[in-house]
Amino acid sequence: MNNYNNLEQILKDLHHLPAATPQASFRTNARIRLLNLLSAPAAAFPRPAMAIRSQVLRWAGAFALAIFILGTGAVYASQSSLPGTPLYPVKIASEKVALGLAPTGQIKTAVATSMIDRRADEVNKLHQEGTTEETRVAVQNYTQTVAEIKNTAEVDLNEVEQHLAKHQELISEVEKEEEHDLNEKEDTHPPTGTLTPKTTPSEVQGVTQEDNHKNEIKKIEIIPTATVTPTDSDEYQIED
């Protein structure tokens, strides 16, 4: 029977227990994960420390410079603009400058993925507003931005794919609904280029029989819908 008289020695020996030493893989991987996280933008920390990490500072400086060059007021005002509005090209241009000036690695990836998120947000907003043509343009912008980012060197494509997966459902749903709306429009529109009114005259209160008769025979001429041309990315290209 062991009385554990050597208990202190046994405890001392536990110091050298193999399992009590971090494995090499953990040592390296945890170090990489931690340092990446510490170098990431403030988003990684809900309440970042006052001392801002140097890479973030560089990125913020570059972005501030871009804002200054492009005209402070316009760029700020453009950040919430949607496709089809006058300030939208300014928004796209400021993003491209920010992406171009961002340091490589996680910061560049963060800027790139935020661009994808913004395009998806635009699709969502316009879709909710029910603006069919603009929504279609927003979806095209989304696809174009994704393609551009995938071609950007030094962006973490795995991270990009994660963001794409997040928006996949929204984009598919919008595309499906847009297609459905388009088909419906083609079905309901007479080929003669005329459109019958949706509300029948009898549904309108205070309309006389005579008015009804007039309305029945009345045809409304189709007014071609204004087409919003897809955004040409080259238009926003900033010269070095």
Partner 1 sequence: MVRRNLSIQRLIARAGQGDAAAFGEIYDLFLDKVYRFVYFRVGNREDAEDLTEQIFLKVFKNLKNYHAGGAPFAAWLFRIARNHLTDHYRRRRNEVSLTAGVEVADSQPTPEELIQRQMDQQAVSVAMRKLPDSYQEIIILKFIEERENEEISQILQKPVSHVRVLQSRALTKLRQLLNNEQL
Binding residues vs partner 1 (CB under 8 A): 1-4, 7-8, 10-23, 26-27, 30-31, 33-35, 37-39, 45, 49-54, 56-57
CB of 99 to partner 1, least distance (A): 22
CB of 168 to partner 1, least distance (A): 30
Nearer to partner 1, 6 or 183 (CB): 6
Is the Cβ–Cβ distance between 112 and 164 less than 8 Å?
Answer: no
Cα dihedral 100, 102, 108, 112 in deg (nearest 10): -50
Query: Cα–Cα distance between 189 and 227 in angstroms, integer?
Result: 18
Nearer to partner 1, 4 or 191 (CB): 4
Helix (H, G, I), strand (E, B) or coil at 108: helix
Nearer to partner 1, 54 or 128 (CB): 54
Nearer to partner 1, 55 or 135 (CB): 55
CB of 29 to partner 1, least distance (A): 9
Q: Which residues pair with 221 in a beta bridge?
A: 194
CB of 43 to partner 1, least distance (A): 14
Is the dihedral angle over the CA atoms 60, 63, 69, 72 positive or is it negative? Answer: negative
Query: Cα–Cα distance between 188 and 29 in angstroms, integer?
Result: 60
CB of 235 to partner 1, least distance (A): 38
What tokens appear for 196 in the block? Answer: 């019958």
Helix (H, G, I), strand (E, B) or coil at 147: helix
Is the Cβ–Cβ distance between 182 and 188 less than 8 Å?
Answer: no
Nearer to partner 1, 34 or 204 (CB): 34
